[in-house]
Structure 1
């Protein structure tokens, strides 16, 4: 596990706020973060973010054009902050991406290569967004992959189930947070 890192993706205030309770999502994700730190694994936070005025977003981009219209996910937007329940600590890396995948428009690959990381543990919101896109791209880049099924959250429970039970296992090991933390000896 020395070459692994935990990616905590898109767990930003305005994204988390879209979910009523999340079935204890943030405390469970906090357990994964704590277990990674205890095991000495890097915790890398991935956030979606844009410059003021959103010059990175085309009007043709269905996913992000609403963010541009509303002024969301800029440095001045408090909703773009990582949720305080799982906030980074000194030494944690925060990577800003410009699209859905954690790799798109970010320096994530550079950070991973510099850290000689070849295996990723993925958690985040949404399962059908950043997690799916990152699984696909990371698999194509030959990273070993683990997805924490209950460390991911999606507005559509059926889509979450199909992805974690049928799609992700083709390219990743899919575990619960409890199973993963136990495998670390935490």
Structure 2
């Protein structure tokens, strides 16, 4: 059981970099996700490779209006968002972390919910580019990356979910015990691999791209 991707044509592949924003990645940020810092070297390698091979690179940024008019239930779920402490469109915290900033021409999809497809033009962009394979990296494994993977699969895209270029944070005890980030990550990769995507490492991804000089990887 599970999806298998054997090879990927660069012209039919896009890398989706999910929510690598200052408010998640920077040390001491309101929504700090340490695994985001830990996987930065791998993500930078994936970005360099993808750009070199002509693979489309697309970013997402989870943002909200300063007046909170687009919050929905996020205000109840995440107090820092309700208080306006993070993810405010146009403010520095909502910008992509400098080490993995987009290059000219690489779109940044602004979204208000977990999924990069919900209320955005991502699907239109992918279909216009002729994308069939969507490679997912970024934060967080169980929320925005998971939601993007599920919605992509629903729309017929084959999803490659990068196990070492995604990550999350520790979960507090809500009656079932604390869950460390590594355990959340492991379980979600297992669920995704059985139901939604081909879960693979960054090296696996790069080896599956059809290229005339894969031996350089």
User: Do the structures match in fold with TM over 0.5?
Assistant: yes
1:136-155 equivalences under 5 Å are 136-155=150-169
SS of the residue 2:109 aligns to = strand
Give the deviation of 1:63 after TM superposition. 3.7
Specify the alignment match of 1:14 in structure 2.
23
CA RMSD across the alignment: 1.9
| CA distance in 1: counterparts of 2:63 and 2:141, whole angstroms | 19
1:94 maps onto 2:122 in alignment: no
1:29-40 equivalences under 5 Å are 29-40=43-54
Residues 75-118 of structure 1: per-residue CA shift (max 9 Å, x gap): 34211110111100011111111100111122111111221212
> Where has structure 1 moved over 6 Å in runs of 4 or more?
none
| CA distance in 1: counterparts of 2:111 and 2:193, whole angstroms | 22
SS of the residue 2:83 aligns to = helix
Larger radius of gyration: 2
Give the deviation of 1:37 after TM superposition. 0.5
1:5 maps onto 2:14 in alignment: yes
Residues 16-60 of structure 1: per-residue CA shift (max 9 Å, x gap): 131346573111101111111111000000111122312111357
Distance 1:94-1:23 versus aligned 2 partners, 3 A rule: closer
Specify the alignment match of 2:190 in structure 1.
165
| CA distance in 2: counterparts of 1:133 and 1:90, whole angstroms | 27
How many residues are matched?
186
Q: TM-score, normalised by structure 2?
A: 0.79
Specify the alignment match of 2:129 in structure 1.
115
| CA distance in 2: counterparts of 1:13 and 1:144, whole angstroms | 29
| CA distance in 1: counterparts of 2:59 and 2:122, whole angstroms | 10
1:53 maps onto 2:67 in alignment: yes
Give the deviation of 1:74 after TM superposition. 2.2
Higher deviation after alignment, 32-41 or 17-26: 17-26
| CA distance in 1: counterparts of 2:187 and 2:13, whole angstroms | 26
Give the deviation of 1:130 after TM superposition. 0.6
| CA distance in 1: counterparts of 2:60 and 2:33, whole angstroms | 19
What are the ranges of 5 or more consecutive residues in structure 2 without an aligned counterpart?
A: 1-8, 27-31, 170-180
Distance 1:30-1:169 versus aligned 2 partners, 3 A rule: farther
What are the ranges of 5 or more consecutive residues in structure 1 without an aligned counterpart?
A: none
Q: TM-score, normalised by structure 1?
A: 0.91
